[in-house]
Structure 1
Amino acid sequence: MKHKVKIEPAGLEFEAEEFDSILEAAEKAGIDFPYRCRQGVCTACVCINKNGGKVSYGDMPPVITPDEEEKGYTFCCIGHALSDLVLYHPNIEK
């Protein structure tokens, strides 16, 4: 199943397949998405989930604190879209 992902404020949109991380889906769409570790540690890929869309981290150990989750933080290098998403990242450009 595919879900639409929109990146604000750049206004970029792409589709994320069920088994791709959000970062992998963005790369497949040709989007220059910031990352360093691909393990949910460095926070370069962290976006803010603006629409409350659902993200899964599968069986990964918890990397997000309850406070971060409440604020909508989304670790895109290890997160998989389970619904359409609107994400905010100030350093992603068209």
Structure 2
Amino acid sequence: MQSLCLLIRQAAEGLRAAQRRLLRQGYTLKVYDCYRPQRAVDHFVRWAKDLSDEQMKAEFYPNVAKDRLFADGYIARSPGTAAGARWT
């Protein structure tokens, strides 16, 4: 079974460009989250606000302070926003 990732065009084009650059350097992208329904976003926002819950920090965000997840654009409050999208 092959995975499918549904993205808005801007995100897909940005990831494609980044992937091309990374492949030339011997790396690849691994996308964990492509589409997230609003109920999942709501749950994620609740989790992010609970600064005491860092059970998975070492595995999934070891170098990111949880209290910066919104400010730094890692989490948006709705699935259609790209608050933290930075394509360089």
TM (norm. structure 1) is: 0.27
Between structures 1 and 2, the one with greater strand share: 1
Q: Which has the higher contact order (CA 8 A, sep 6+)?
A: 1
TM (norm. structure 2) is: 0.28
Between structures 1 and 2, the one with greater helix share: 2
